[in-house]
Amino acid sequence: MSGGAWWRIGWRNLERHPKRTVITALGLGVGYFAVVFLVGWMEGIAAEMVENATGLVSGQVEIHHADYRPERSLYDTIGGRDGIDVEATVAEVLADPAVIAAAPRVYGGGLLSSGESTSAGMLMGIDPDLETRLSRFLDELVEGRLPQVGQNEVVIGAELARQLESGVGDELVVMAPGADGSLGNDLFRIAGIYRTGLTELDAAFSVFALEDLQILLTLDPGRIHEVSVSTADPWIAQETADRLAVALTGGGMAPEVVPWTELRPEMVEYVSLIDSFYFIIFAVVFLVAMFGVANTMLMATFERRREFAVMLALGTTPSRIVLAVLYEAVGMAVISLLVGAAVTFPLMIWFHNAPPDMGWLYGELTLMGALMRPSLRVEYNFVIWTQAAFALLATAVLAAVYPAVRAARVPPADTLSGS
Amino acid sequence: MTDPTSPAVRTEHVWKTFHQEAEEIHAVHDVTIEIARGEFTALAGPSGSGKTTLLNVIGGLTRPSKGRVWVAGRDLTEMSNPELARLRLEQVGFVFQAYNLLPVLTAMENAEFPMLLQGIDADERAARVGELFKRIGLDGMEGRRPGKLSGGQQQRVAVVRSVASKPALVLADEPTANLDSAASDALLDVMRELNEDLGVTFVFATHDTRVMERCRRLVRMVDGAIESDKVRS
């Protein structure tokens, strides 16, 4: 007997009890949706976390003097005391095909005072034009504008502004140890205030024009501490760092080029942990679905014991009966997959492109030091979609094995005589 | 291989014993019988006389507790379950009291089901079933599902199913029990016609006198044993 005939019998059996078929298919379809959506949501959280952790300030790759980390000494500038051609170095970094932005930075520690208030903080010198292409924390100042070169201007975080009881236009006295051993101090005017939502960042970082901070820290114009790099995808940071390390080595410069995966290993571990949850989600969801399908198939095959007995009496082999029930299960899986896809994909597209704002529920939050947008954003993962489809198929078939074997073991004579 | 010269059925000291708690019930009691090819035979007797059990043993649906059974010259007692399934498929047709058509298949698909299992091609199946449907008055009902057929029509489909694959014998268990007199007579006419025209061997288990009257050979059973075996002239 051809497989086509068994398929036909399988499909028609599914049509016999449309409500039961639809309910079972919904169970499996919702299982598919749950897996795809939950994994997509967890990937969304992970992607958001990595994106914010690397995109807000730091970038995906950092280039330093080889000795800069971990002390982050003022003296360990790229290229040593002689410094580098900053413009040429940035241009060389930007020449890498994976790099989408690069910006030089100078760092120092200092005290900021306004009236009676004083606060210690990290001083950060930036090229405003390059920096805004790289990082996001200065994208939308809550007040004012970015510092201009030669104007002795500073942008501070909202929390620091609160602590110093200062606002845009107010003057700050900034004191910082210089690279020549002196204690530099100067008067700066607050040009703008930023707010990231990360209190530690909003309280600590004061942003200056690169050249103005170099003057305060008595660093020559070619002396910078970092070139921060943004890549097209956070997960290609390692390869990009390796290429940049090769490209930048030479000419007296042997910088350390480190990807964020090395700077934030705890975040990589967290993402790996999330990945390992996928298996648990698959197992739990489809195991629950399997019992539901097995129950339905058991009921369906029990109701048809007499039909199986007739088939066996007419010469159908038990293995053919098993196959017939499994065909039916595959049919059920196909319907379930269609139902699941019809539910899943529109919601995935919606939650990916216009994720609902969940700020009303849990406000702003930080995870692993990264600011998380309060939204239910999901990520697409075609591999997971395919794996979930195969898992659904396997669930339906595995759930049908026991009912199929029972159907094949129906004793024809006893069943047909009604005992 | 089947032996075309051998009888359709032969049993030798067949017993079928069921165990009910501590009690042994001999549903078939030392039955030895031979049914030649082309016979139209009734196993008659009251309920519990063992006729259906004997029919099931002959059809390979259940194994005898003792004794041997041959169908078309092949010893069933030596066969494995798959071999028995194969023998039923190739040599035995069944007609059941409750019709037992598969509800998801049409009349045509039900009738050709054994031939589908045998791997006979679609044209041949359609030709055989079409001819038999015409012969027994089911013309035009090929596409109907069992639920859309009367009891008599369903039983006629079952008869076509039992003979279309050209088995050595057809075993019919109370085929008229659920039919009214007119439908019973019509069905028996059809079966007799198939027996006479095509040489199909029929063995009935019945307590219906109309069936007994039409059979050339009447085997009466009581308490699992053969009480009498008469051939009408």
pLDDT (0 to 100) of residue A273? 87
Same domain membership, residue A48 and residue A193: no
In a domain, A61, yes or no: no
Tell me the C-alpha distance between A218 and A127, whole Å. Answer: 17
pLDDT (0 to 100) of residue A345? 93
pLDDT (0 to 100) of residue A371? 63
Same domain membership, residue A199 and residue A289: no
pLDDT (0 to 100) of residue A53? 80
Buried b / exposed e over A179-203, threshold 16 CB at 10 Å, is beeeebebebebbbbbbbbbeebbb
pLDDT (0 to 100) of residue A342? 94
Same domain membership, residue A34 and residue A83: no
In a domain, B4, yes or no: no
Map A328-376 to HEC letters.
HHHHHHHHHHHHHHHHHHHHHHHHHHCCCECHHHHCCEEECCEEECCEC
Q: Is the pTM of this model over 0.90?
A: no
CB-closest option in A2, A307, A320 to B102: A307
Chain A nearest CA to B225, separation (Å)? 20
Grouping H, G, I as helix, E, B as strand and the rest as coil, residue A381 is coil
H or E stretch at B195: helix B181-198
Identity (one letter) of the amino acid at B27? A
Question: For the residues of B151-171, what is the DSSP string, one character each?
Answer: HHHHHHHHHHHHHHT--SEEE
In a domain, B62, yes or no: yes
Tell me the C-alpha distance between A337 and B115, whole Å. Answer: 34
Identity (one letter) of the amino acid at A219? L
Same domain membership, residue A272 and residue A202: no
pLDDT tens-digit readout, B113-132: 999 999 999 999 999 999 88
> Domain span at residue B154?
9-19+26-231
Residue at token pair 């659904």: A392
pLDDT (0 to 100) of residue B21? 80
Q: Taking an 8 Å Cβ-Cβ cutoff, which residues of chain A contact chain B?
A: 1-2, 5, 9, 12-13, 15-16, 306-307, 310-318, 320, 411-414, 416-417
Chain A residue with Cα closest to B87? A315
Q: What is the ipTM of this complex?
A: 0.90
In a domain, B120, yes or no: yes
Two tokens, residue B162: 């039992």
Tell me the C-alpha distance between A254 and A65, whole Å. Answer: 7
Q: How confident is the model at residue B193 (pLDDT cuts 50, 70, 90)?
A: confident
Our count of domains for chain B comes to 1
Q: Do A9 and B89 touch (CB under 8 A)?
A: no
Task: List the CATH number of the domain containing B150.
Answer: 3.40.50.300
Same domain membership, residue A396 and residue A302: yes
- What secondary structure letter does DSSP report for A105? E
Tell me the C-alpha distance between B41 and A46, whole Å. Answer: 79
Q: Is the pLDDT of residue B85 over 60?
A: yes
CB-side neighbour CA atoms (13 Å) of A329 = 29
pLDDT (0 to 100) of residue A103? 95
Instruction: Give the strand pairing for B40-44 and B217-222.
Output: parallel
Same domain membership, residue A230 and residue A108: yes
> Domain span at residue A280?
3-53+267-416
In a domain, A221, yes or no: yes
Q: Taking an 8 Å Cβ-Cβ cutoff, which residues of chain B contact chain A?
A: 52-53, 56, 59, 61-62, 81-82, 85-90, 92, 94, 96, 100, 102-105, 113-114, 116-119, 161
Same domain membership, residue A130 and residue A45: no
Say what angle helices A18-53 and A382-408 make with each other, to 10 degrees.
150
In a domain, A204, yes or no: yes
Query: Do residues B15 and B163 make contact, with C-beta atoms less than 8 angstroms apart?
Result: no
Identity (one letter) of the amino acid at A92? E
Same domain membership, residue A189 and residue A313: no
User: Chain A contacts of B118, Cβ < 8 Å?
Assistant: 315
Average pLDDT for chain B: 91
**Domain end position, chosen among A230, A254, A278:** A254
In a domain, A262, yes or no: no
Query: Do residues A40 and A344 make contact, with C-beta atoms less than 8 angstroms apart?
Result: no
Q: Is the pLDDT of residue B3 over 70?
A: no
Per-residue pLDDT tens digits of chain A, which is 419 residues long: 566 788 888 889 999 889 999 999 999 999 999 999 999 988 888 888 888 888 888 889 999 998 988 888 899 999 888 888 999 999 999 999 999 999 999 999 999 999 888 999 999 999 999 999 999 888 878 999 999 999 999 999 999 999 999 999 999 999 999 988 888 889 999 999 999 888 888 998 999 999 999 999 999 999 999 999 999 888 899 999 999 998 888 766 778 999 999 988 888 888 888 888 888 988 999 999 899 889 989 999 999 999 999 999 999 999 999 999 999 999 999 999 999 999 999 999 999 998 887 777 766 666 656 666 667 788 898 999 999 999 999 999 999 999 999 999 999 988 987 65
**Domain end position, chosen among A232, A254, A276:** A254
Q: Is the pLDDT of residue B171 over 90?
A: yes
In a domain, A260, yes or no: no
User: Chain B contacts of A413, Cβ < 8 Å?
Assistant: 53, 56, 61-62
Our count of domains for chain A comes to 2
Q: Is the pLDDT of residue B9 over 90?
A: yes
pLDDT (0 to 100) of residue B99? 87
